[in-house]
Amino acid sequence: MAKKKNFEFRVVYESPRGGRICELVTPHGTIETPVFMPVGTRATVKGIEPRELDEMGAQIILSNTYHLYMRPGADLVEKAGGLHKFMNYNHPILTDSGGFQVFSLADIRKVKDDGVEFQSHIDGSRHFFTPEKAIDIENKLGADIIMAFDECTPGGCERAKAREAMERTLNWLDRCKKAHKNDKQMLFPIVQGNTYADLRLESLERTMPYADVGFGIGGLSVGEPKDVMYDMLDVMQPHYPRDKARYLMGVGSADCIVEGVLRGIDMFDCVLATRVGRNGVAFTSEGKLTIRNGVYKEDFSPLDPHCDCHVCKTYSRAYIRHLINVDEMLGGKFLSYHNLYYLIHLMEDIKKAIREDRLPEFREELKKHTNYWD
């Protein structure tokens, strides 16, 4: 059992056939894992109210340090009483450090040992993020779990670059740990190493002394094939400390969630559910459906006949297709709501399978009846 003031992580059940159920205690509530975290990048899950997150059973959401630093600014959020009060969300919140967003600004940023210089994607203004500044921003935002500032590299980059980024991430982690003073926030370090097994293991070993309650696994699902990501998880799994939460960052498709849980992962997040929803794609028990397609024009059945979410109980595929095809914002909202509901309740099915020691069979059933692995 990992314990720190205001935080605790305990393993409830480990299945001999894969997967585990744990509890992560935070100042804003206890999270039962495995868990999917909806992403509220700019202090909002796009198109979804906090009360709707409660309706669908979300336990924790994620917000983004870089975007909130840019707008409305960390000082304003702090004056509002922190993210929980600013957005009126009373459950746990996790903030990433901005490292991945800076990574995505490849053409307008320069990585140095001290930090990262970059241009704003909004107005071109110049900014400099150090580990200390990232922690200061996250402290002001006031999330329960905050991530260390790291350097993420593209999937399959050359080995020398992967090692350089890993070493820099470890150096920045030490600085983050020294800068972080708020005992109502838990700092999660991040394991890097790209797709090199020995670097992943070295990073894991050197990162664990900084992991009080949990840690992130970064730099995966950034361009490498899924099989390569699974290989990296397989390499690391025997070496994970049992009493720490394991968070696979930026991963949230149904297939990757199931495969990740089988490989010992506890926490997931991704913008995929709302992003594809706004573009007319639904996650269902039949797999991914592109609702804007003509085949659904006169289909008056629900999005998913096996789903009991508000959208499926109220509206038809034909109606939602119409909304999407005429660019009505309600269509994207409906699909975003449903997709989040699907992933949150997929986690409930996964936990049931873990308790019954049949997670491998659950995976095979899902593969057989959906197109998520295609």
Residues that are catalytic: 96, 269
* Per-residue CA distances from 254 to 151, 272, 285 (Å): 27, 10, 10
Q: Residue 201, SS3?
A: helix
What residues contact residue 368 under an 8 Å CB cut-off, 6+ apart? none
Largest CA-CA distance found in the chain, in angstroms, rounded? 60
Q: Could you say which DSSP state residue 189 is in? A: P
C-alpha torsion sign, points 151, 165, 180, 265: positive
Q: Which residues touch 307 (CB under 8 Å, ≥6 apart)? A: 284, 285, 338, 341, 342, 345
CA triple 231-237-240, angle to 5 deg: 145
Of 284, 273, 290, nearest to 325 (Cα)? 290
CA distances from 232 to 219, 281, 292, 299 (A): 11, 29, 36, 42
Going from the C-alpha of 259 to that of each of 254, 327, 360, the distances in angstroms are: 9, 35, 9
Rounded Cα distance, 194 and 152, in Å: 8
DSSP string, 81-145: TSHHHHTT--S-EEEE-SHHHHHHTGGGEEE-SS-EEEE-TTT--EEEE-HHHHHHHHHHHT-SE
